[in-house]
Chains A and B, each alone.
Chain A
Amino acid sequence: NLEQPMHDEL
């Protein structure tokens, strides 16, 4: 998803 920031990182 192009709009999704990297919220799975720390």
Chain B
Amino acid sequence: MNIFRLAGDMTHLVSVLVLLLKIHTIKSCAGISLKTQELYALVFTTRYLDLFTDYISLYNTVMKLIFLGSSFSIVWYIRRHKIVRRSYDKDQDTFRHYFIVLPCLVLALLIHHKFTFKEVMWTFSLYLEAVAILPQLVLLQRTRNIDNLTGQYVFLLGAYRALYILNWIYRHYTEPHYVHWITWIAGIVQTLLYADFFYYYFQSWKNNVKLQLPA
């Protein structure tokens, strides 16, 4: 475990906690894409199938359980909580799941490391995670007023991806033969999706104005 990996995991953890806290305390999910949250729940479910078969470390197991639990709680809040669900803007959050899920599934069936159920599901989760933020980014663009917590949530998610790339570069130089191109490509695509958002986030921070994405 290197410092970039730990920082990445912690950023990821904080992003999820920020979102849960926002929903739990202000009882609102305004500006949050249910589609993206459901895709993340699917990402974690398909990636962490190894919870049942392999043990890596206590840290690894606990973090996996936290990500699974938090992603399903967020989906539950938006769909079922009687106050929170009223703030969900269904008409703006129109991205269709299958536009994202199907291509990722096909790609995972075609391009994978090993043709086993677990390995294909793991590869699918990587492809899916790379694009799962799209419904959220579309929603941010449509929402004229992005509240601070939503902006921070997306910023932290992007930061987590960027830190993971630093982690891979570090591991590439320190661990012999540490390379897996599927992870690299999916990870780089995912990070690039945040580039535009980062640009406007830093602009709004620098100029001390409210974050707004151009239509």
Contact = CB atoms under 8 A, between A and B. Distances in A.
B182 A7 contact: no
Contact of A5 (B54, B67, B168, B180): B180
A5 to B, nearest CB: 5
Nearest to B54: A7
A9 B113 CA distance: 16
B50 A5 contact: no
Contacts of A10: 9, 12, 60, 63-64, 67
Contacts of B180: 4-6
Contacts of B164: 9
A6 to B, nearest CB: 5
A8 B56 contact: yes
B60 A5 contact: no
Interface residues of A, number: 10
Given A9-B5, A10-B12, A2 B177 contact: yes
B63 A7 contact: no
B183 interface: yes
A3 B177 CA distance: 9
Interface in B156-203: 164, 167-168, 177-180, 182-183
B120 to A, nearest CB: 12
Given A10-B60, A10-B64, A5 B177 contact: no
A2 B168 CA distance: 14
B56 A6 contact: no
Given A10-B9, A10-B12, A10-B63, A5 B56 contact: no
Among all A-B residue pairs, the 3 with the closest Cβ atoms: A2-B177, A5-B180, A5-B113
Interface of B: 5, 9, 12, 50, 54, 56-57, 60, 63-64, 67, 113, 119, 122, 164, 167-168, 177-180, 182-183
12 contacts: A2-B177, A2-B179, A5-B119, A5-B182, A6-B183, A7-B50, A7-B56, A7-B122, A9-B5, A10-B12, A10-B60, A10-B64
